[in-house]
Amino acid sequence: MTSSYRAVTLPIKLTVNGKEYQSSVEVRKTLADFLRDELGLTGTHLGCEHGVCGACTILFNGDAVRSCLMLAVQADGANLTTVEGLAQEEELHPLQQAFQENHALQCGFCTPGMLMTAYAFLQDTPSPTEEQVKEGISGNICRCTGYAPIIQAILQTSKEPPVRKAGE
Amino acid sequence: MAQTYIGAPIRREEDRRFLTGQGQFVDDVKLPNMLHAAILRSPHPHARILSIDATAALEMDGVAGVITFQDIKDTVVPRPIPIRMRTYVGIERFLQYPLAEDKVRYVGEPVALVVAETRYLAEDALDGVEVSYDPLPPVVNVWQSMQEDSLLFEEHGTNLAYEFASSIGDVDQAFREADYTHKEEFRCHRHTANPLETRGLVASYASGRQELTVWGETKVPHFNRGVLASLLQMPEHRIHFIEPDVGGGFGVRGEFYPENFLVPFAAIKLGRPVKWIEDRLEHLISANHSREHVCELEVAAKKDGTILGMRTKIYGALGGYVRTHGASVPVSTAAMLTGPYLIPNYEWDVKCLLTNKVGMGTFSAPGRYESCFFRERMLDMMAEDLKIDPTQLRLKNLIPPTAMPYELGRTRPEDYSLTYDSGDYPAVLKKALEVIDYENLKLTGGQYKDGRFHGVGVASFVKSTGTGTPYEGARVVVTGPDQVAVYLGISTLGQGHETVMAQICADGLGVPMEYVAVYHGDTDLMPFGGGTFASRGTTLAGNAVYGAAQRLREKILRISAGYLDVDPNDVEFAQGHVYRKTPSSGEPELDLNQVLELAGPASKYNQGEMGLESTHYFHSSQECYPCGAHAVHLAVDPETGQIEILKYAIAEDVGHVINPLLLTGQVVGAAAQGVGATILEELVYDDEGQPLAGSFMDYLLPTSLDIPAFDVAILDLAPSPINPLGVKGAGEIGIVATGAALSNAVSNALGVQVTELPLSPNKIKELLGRKTQA
């Protein structure tokens, strides 16, 4: 016989795209659902909800993580950046610019996760080879582009002046 | 002052919102007081339902309702989900109701809908719905289906949903005259498109006004609105479908599925908005599957390689129900099996068979990917037997450009003849061979180098595009001095219509492209719309936009000439301004705002037509046929069974090109899907009918490490003569020859004939075993 679920919540405090949030969150809620449903940051997408497709990738204290595989309560005290934090008002981040110039997106659903993965990758590997870029984004699935334009966009960004940090 | 947006590699208008996280996909739609649905699905491939008890679920926290067949019965019976296109007599006996009644026929079939305050609570409550089943013997392949020991629909006494057998020419004569015949059995594997965004719907019912709004309908919203209106017994004009941004379609998304009824029904019944977002497991066991066919193929030829005729038996695995595509995928497999070759004698028998698996629908180039694999494999086998270079064999048999337009004949059940509109098939194949440097490369075929077997494979294809529904409409409206709105009847699933249609409108009308905004995805914008499938967006809607824009331009010239008191032939409209031709001062006489005022209801110059707008429907009941050739060089690692693609050349001719940047993107994207589908993907079921691929860890989609760099040559040798823009459909063509070219290359590498897909590492190991035995 099934018994009803008893919701348990915990308070969390975190910074997302430079803005501080405090919330009381159900302990079983994923970080992705928290960002999307409670903070309204719907740029973070869910393609598989089991950590394979990479569409939900965000920066967690600077590292690329899958927000569908984390609970919101695990983000207590963390500093997060989502795709909404990449552009500075009207000015696109060079990575975003390069994605547009290279036609590196079609339906746009994988794009936020791809951008965040690429951003973290370029922080770690500022002057990558093509093979390194392929390896770097191999955990993100795109069904539209065949990846070549995405790889080109990332390589192009790496050859430009130092990449501005998101939120700076 | 000619404008040249058409043909230019213009970057996309729509990118910015996707890059900044401001796209609005269906799961981003959030309404006040909204409930969330989860679906209880059958765990059995074939079973009788003995009882359903939702008492426990209804007592659980936050549960607003549970819907089973008994709740929908009075509304839907006797109207199951209908076939969308190509309805053939007899096949309608096997349609699906939105919920299972007394029997389930595939793992994943919806049995109950649970609605609760959150998605988490709705999923919890699925455990509170108790269903008692009596399992029946499952039918898991076409051979079992034909044995009919177990029937999916006992009342109809057969598992054969539909059969189409016919011929063109005199096949018996061809086989009698042949020096050479060869018979082979091929199998194409079950797989599906897997757009990255899963399906989803939000429905809201305003009971006072009796208006239903549904977000998330896409691909064929007008057709689906008609179906929903019929099932709910509601007038169509009270139903509004809104298409948000869409995370890919590729055939699978947007058909009328059980959920497309259940979610709106729940919203009406419960009096609150309801959202349902499919998870990936659900997608893999409930959204349409495609491609599973067995093909017996026999060829007759002269010893010089001239093909005289072909015979085929196609067995399509339709799944547990006939879905909205009916028999169209198996029928299409046979209809174009002879491809771009001159094969005047052809006989086919297509059997569409029920199996206890998910229903069959389309994935890009439905039936064409399969038939290209069957045919092109057969050609390579023939070439080997007859000791002819496989490319020479193709060049000998390709339909020459002098034979265009080429009437293939009536290869579909419908009473019309397929006619290839234009194309230089030999030139396109030669181009692919040149790009990959075939003459030098062919020597590496079959060689063992650096611990790997190298293979070279080639395949040619032609594909029908641009039909399904024989029209598409568009409305172009001038709304301000620098504002033009284009309203489309078709939807978009990520292709870039907002850019391409703006290019076409700008050139057709004579305004800067920045003036133009494109609107789509709302059934209230246009009364009719065929939908976005069959690579028909640019061919039909593009020509509709062009026609509407040109008619509006003529209206602008008429009104301006009336005001300027000159002959309409003495004025021209370009870059948003009216100029006098003779004498030309180079200065505009009128701007668009002035013309708009002249066309206003209060103006005496409006010539009886208020405002500046034009609606045009472009009609075409004829298909247009792009063509192409793929050539690939790959290496097979005998240790791991893995394939590395070293070079992949694509030559394709789609007639005139609207935007080469977007076209190349679509060709490469489709080819990448085909590579993944061929070397990685399969919807594996066990012998008991249980699906084994329920996540992206079991169903492998290609990543950046699997996809090669494609060398793409886009040719414009043969514009379509049957539409004003001279375009042909382009969205799906990149995928057609992937299975064929890759399997030819693997066969060449290993010296073993591939007859089954996929070419996954385990299958490659089996082939290597056959090689060792040989």
- Average pLDDT, rounded, for chain B: 96
B665 part of contact set with chain A, CB < 8 Å: yes
pLDDT per residue rounded down to tens, chain A (168 residues): 445 567 899 999 999 999 999 999 999 999 999 999 999 999 999 999 999 999 999 999 999 999 999 999 999 999 999 999 999 988 999 999 999 999 999 999 999 999 999 999 999 999 999 999 999 999 999 999 999 999 999 999 999 876 566 654
Q: Establish if A142 touches chain B: CB-CB under 8 angstroms.
A: yes
- The domain made up of B15-20+468-619 has a fold known as Aldehyde Oxidoreductase; domain 4 (3.30.365)
Range in B10-14, B459-463, B579-583, B734-738 the model is least confident about = B579-583
Categorize the per-residue pLDDT at B467 as very low, low, confident or very high, splitting at 50, 70 and 90. confident
Residues of chain B in contact with residue A82, where contact means CB-CB under 8 angstroms, are: 21
Contacts of A166 in chain B (CB under 8 A): none
Q: Which CATH class is domain B31-136+198-246+253-286?
A: alpha beta
pLDDT in tens, B593-633: 999 999 999 999 998 888 999 999 999 989 999 999 999 99
B196·A2 Cβ contact <8 A: no
Q: Is B544 on the interface with A (CB under 8 A)?
A: no
Rounded CA-CA distance B124/A67 in Å is 22
Domain spans, chain B: 15-20+468-619, 31-136+198-246+253-286, 293-465+623-773
CB pair distance less than 8 Å for B21 and A145: no
ipTM: 0.96
- Pick from B657, B660, B611, B619: nearest CA to B484: B611
Question: Mean of the pLDDT values across residues B30-59?
Answer: 98
* Mutant choice from B10, B14, B18 vs A, greatest count of A C-beta within 10 A: B18
State the nearest Cα–Cα gap between A149 and chain B, in angstroms.
8
**A9 contacts chain B (CB < 8 A):** no
- Contact between A145 and A105 (Cβ < 8 Å): yes
Three-class secondary structure assignment of B112-142? EEEEECCHHHHHHHHHHCEEEEEECCCCCCH
Please name the residue of chain A whose CA is at the shortest distance from the CA of residue B9. A103
Q: Compute how many other C-beta atoms are within 10 angstroms of the C-beta atom of residue B334.
A: 28
Question: Spelled out in words, what is the top-level CATH class assigned to the domain B293-465+623-773?
Answer: alpha beta
Question: Rg (Cα) of chain B, in Å, rounded?
Answer: 27
Minimum CA–CA partner of B497 in chain A: A106
pLDDT on residue A168: 47
Give the separation between CA B557 and CA B569, rounded to whole angstroms. 8
Does B89 touch chain A if contact means CB atoms closer than 8 Å? no
CB contact under 8 A, B248 and A146: no
pLDDT at residue number B497: 95
Q: Which residue of B has its CA nearest to A26?
A: B120
Q: What percent of chain B has pLDDT over 90?
A: 96
Q: In the structure encoding, which two tokens stand for residue B605, read together?
A: 């110059």
Surface of A (101-130) touching B: CB under 8 A: 101, 103, 105-112, 115
Q: Where do the domains of chain A lie, and which CATH numbers do they carry?
A: 9-85 (3.10.20.30), 94-158 (1.10.150.120)
Q: Are B668 and A148 within 8 A, CB to CB?
A: yes
Give the C-alpha separation, B310 to B375, whole Å. Answer: 10
Q: Is B594 left (phi over 0), alpha (psi -120 to 50) or beta?
A: alpha
Chain B residue closest in CA terms to A4: B60
CB contact A91 to B (< 8 Å): no
Cβ of B261 under 8 Å from any chain A Cβ? Answer: no
Q: Residue B583's pLDDT band (boundaries 50, 70, 90)?
A: confident
Q: Work out the minimum CA distance from A116 to partner chain B, whole angstroms.
A: 11
The answer to whether B745 touches B764, Cβ cutoff 8 Å, is no
- Which member of B59, B196, B279 has the closest CB to residue A109? B196
Domains B15-20+468-619 and B293-465+623-773 share a fold: yes
